[in-house]
Amino acid sequence: MEKEVVLNQTHSRHTLLWLIIIFQFSLLFFSAFSAEITARKILKDKSKKSPKVRLEKTDEKVIINNGIVEVTIEKPTGHLLGIKYNGIDNVLETKNDNDNRGYWDIVWDHDMYDKLATRHVIIITESDELVELSFTRVWNKTKDHDISAPVSVDKRYIVRRGVPGVYMYGIFKRRKYFPHTYIHQLRIVFKLKEDKFHFMALSDTQQRIMPRREDREHSHCQVLAYPEAVLLTNPINPKLKGEVDDKYQYSIESKDNKLHGWIADHDAVGFWIITPSDEFRTGGPHKQDLTSHVGPTALSMFVSNHYTGKDIAEFYKEGVAWKKAFGPVLIYLNSATFDHAHRYRKSLWKDAKKRLSKEIKSWPYSFAASKDYPHADHRGEVSGQLQVRDKYLHKQLMKAKSAFVGLAAPGRAGSWQTEGKGYQFWTQTDRAGHFSIKNVRRGKYNLYAWVHGFIGNYKLDRNVSVHPGHKKNLGTLIYDPPRSGPTLWEIGIPDRTAAEFFIPDPNPTFVNSILNHEGEKFRQYGLWDRYSDTYPHHDLVFKVGASNYSRDWFFAHVPRRTGNDTKATTWKIKFKLQEVKKSGKYTLQMALAAANFAEVQVRINTPDGSPHFTTNRIGYDNAVARHGIHGLYRLYSINVPGKGLRGGNNTIFLTQTRCKDEFMAVMYDYIRLEGPAV
């Protein structure tokens, strides 16, 4: 009997356990089912909460409204008149004329200027999901000669359902009979409401309250060495008194220039330019350009000669047809809850970065309708592995880690940095030198590269043809950097910048507090003058084996200021050689990071007489005045006969001869003396 009771109890416990398991399983099932139903309901509700896109037309304008933003565009000029968002009737400055709020502009030939007003408007797509409009102008030799840039224009606007912003892109075209021209600049400009947008954000570290437009008027500032740079003497915001403002201090390299904009503090609203790809920009990944600046102004730069000068290839010949699509870029608006501690600024910036990531993942867009903007299925991919061969550094092949590898128009090695008519596609290698360049437009390209730590430019010795939907693996590629013999000594790091050299603190009188990060120190105003402060009586002398380039090599070889004049400067590199092969061939590798109306003369063991080598007059990049740490890269491999050297003490004299103004200068990237080949 007792045994039977025990068995019954055991059976009851087993039954109870199974009931609990069945109950829990049922609970999980119904929870999952409920979650799915809820998710569907949320998606359905979200769809309900995202109104359909609607288009309204009048004689003077078109209005696209998706329930989040209302975008108003002038007919037929294509000028952006307004963007209504989150209770702000217009984020653009309504006091400005219609052609001075949101507009494309172009500078061509001898500083001729055109705001690219169009003549016709076409509805490309009108649906509940999106509206795309085309504003066009076909260049007419009779009507437009010497009045409008000789290029036909198609400006596109896209507003999508549920997206708080507007996409903009343009297709520019030249027929063979169009006259030759130089295109110096092409961009989109946004002039925001001056009484609202005061806080500018360019990066995680470059953010602050900005001066007002009035602060740059003569009664509020002192103009410095050039009109773009001013010292704020009587700003509206007294906290900015004594600071410098210069739009070139806010420049960024193309590879990093993907997000910047403004915040309207009292409304906690952000206005952002998002550029998910730089395939349509000129000059490659390291080309620097403007972003946002006092106005408040926000720019989407497509073509410019900033930091390159006229070396960049923007000459368009008569007899050669050309067409290129610029963009799309997204003008993105967001909002947050206002708080007096300004935490909303961080929220808006974080959200804008999140949106940027989303746009990058969506590139190339599937919704842009122009046949000149190919979607993903009409693009190809190129991959491979890059290795470096330099027997003087390592007997084995070396992995080209973190190298920049790109496809650009066919040309000579390094020509990508002055190329602007075509498209460029760049990536960086992994630690093993592998690379994959995705979403490449159909076409014929050259493959280019440069490798951190090695001088020179790589170019594959054959063309690369890209076809839609095809993946091309180039296999293992070998780069042989310029090298004649073993390294005897070196100064700097081969990285195409002067960032590793001595960058002085700015004069306390000329500080911009937005540049308070060590990595942005070179963008402070007036650093060229600090050379004369550092070397008031004699020029720089660098002693190999004793000097430190991060402390003893000034970042820019500039003229010396003497009163109101400037004069040429000669830098000395002193070094010892244990022995010299008089019949041997030595090589001085001199890599420049920038040059502006400059000439470097090289002399060996004598400061006077004819130079052993001269660069002649080079460069237009104006990187010193525009606060860049580099412009265009140049490399000179200079033959030094052994008979010109001595066993024991030697001196190389580097004279920058041009000195009509303080901005005639070069920046060195790297200098190396090589011995005879072994």
pLDDT value of position 146: 85
The string of pLDDT tens digits covering residues 298-314 is 999 999 999 999 898 77
pLDDT value of position 517: 87
* 3 state SS of 46: helix
pLDDT value of position 314: 78
Among 326, 321, 324, 347, smallest CA distance to 336 is for: 347
Rounded CA gap, 447 and 413, in Å?
9
pLDDT value of position 11: 47
Q: Distance between alpha carbon 513 and the CA centroid of its chain, in Å? A: 22
> Whole-prediction pTM value?
0.91
The string of pLDDT tens digits covering residues 344-375 is 999 999 999 999 999 999 999 999 999 999 99
Q: Distance between alpha carbon 304 and the CA centroid of its chain, in Å? A: 12
Pick the CATH number of 487-674 from 2.30.40.10, 2.60.120.260, 1.20.1050.10, 2.40.100.10: 2.60.120.260
Q: Does domain 376-479 have CATH number 2.60.40.1120?
A: yes
- Give the residue ranges of the chain where pLDDT is below 70: 1-48
| Strand ordering across the sheet containing 207-209 | 120-126, 130-137, 152-160, 165-174, 322-335, 269-274, 259-264, 197-201, 207-209
Buried b (16+ CB within 10 A) or exposed e, 584-622: bebbbbbbbbbbbbbbbbbbbeeeeeebbebbeebbbbb
Count, residues in the chain: 678
Q: In which residue ranges of the chain is CATH 2.70.98.10 found? A: 54-192+252-362
Looking from the CA of 542 toward its CB, the CA atoms found within 13 Å total 23
The string of pLDDT tens digits covering residues 216-250 is 999 999 999 999 999 999 999 999 999 999 999 99
pLDDT value of position 24: 52
The phi, psi pair for 452, rounded to 5°, reads: -60, 130
Pick the CATH number of 54-192+252-362 from 3.30.420.10, 2.70.98.10, 3.40.228.10, 3.40.640.10: 2.70.98.10
Our CA angle for 379, 381, 383, nearest 5°, is: 170
pLDDT value of position 48: 54
